[in-house]
Amino acid sequence: EAGVAQSPRYKIIEKRQSVAFWCNPISGHATLYWYQQILGQGPKLLIQFQNNGVVDDSQLPKDRFSAERLKGVDSTLKIQPAKLEDSAVYLCASSFRSSAVSYNEQFFGPGTRLTVL
């Protein structure tokens, strides 16, 4: 079974530039998550999709971050414009349909390491 795919693996940009990350979840997984992991910290949820609908985006800085999952499969996360504090690893994860009643394990992709100079 193929895992969660992410690209690019690494990205270096200057502040105020834009960047986009792509994620393809495991086939059949309805729930997709984007996390931000700053060095030395635990993953912080940015946004959670169930199929193509947003379940939770309460921690997404909406003035600069956006995400979409138009066809309920792959997803993109965009930062525009980037700030120095956005330097982090951006992890995508997927799971079978999860809810407050039935929560499933998450499968993580390799992540995209973003450096903002």
Partner 1 sequence: GQQVMQIPQYQHVQEGEDFTTYCNSSTTLSNIQWYKQRPGGHPVFLIQLVKSGEVKKQKRLTFQFGEAKKNSSLHITATQTTDVGTYFCAGLETGANNLFFGTGTRLTVIP
Binding site for partner 1 (CB under 8 A): 33, 35, 41-45, 48, 55-56, 91, 93, 98-100, 103, 105-111
Instruction: Sheet with 75-79: list strands edge to edge.
Output: 5-7, 19-24, 75-79, 65-68
Going through the chain in order, the beta strands assigned E by DSSP cover 5-7, 10-13, 19-24, 31-37, 44-50, 53-56, 65-68, 75-79, 88-95, 107-108, 112-116
Pick the closer one to partner 1 by CB: 7 or 17. 7
| Closest distance of CB 81 from partner 1, Å | 27
| Closest distance of CB 95 from partner 1, Å | 9
Pick the closer one to partner 1 by CB: 15 or 103. 103
| Closest distance of CB 35 from partner 1, Å | 8
CB atoms within 10 A of CB 10: 11
Pick the closer one to partner 1 by CB: 12 or 14. 12
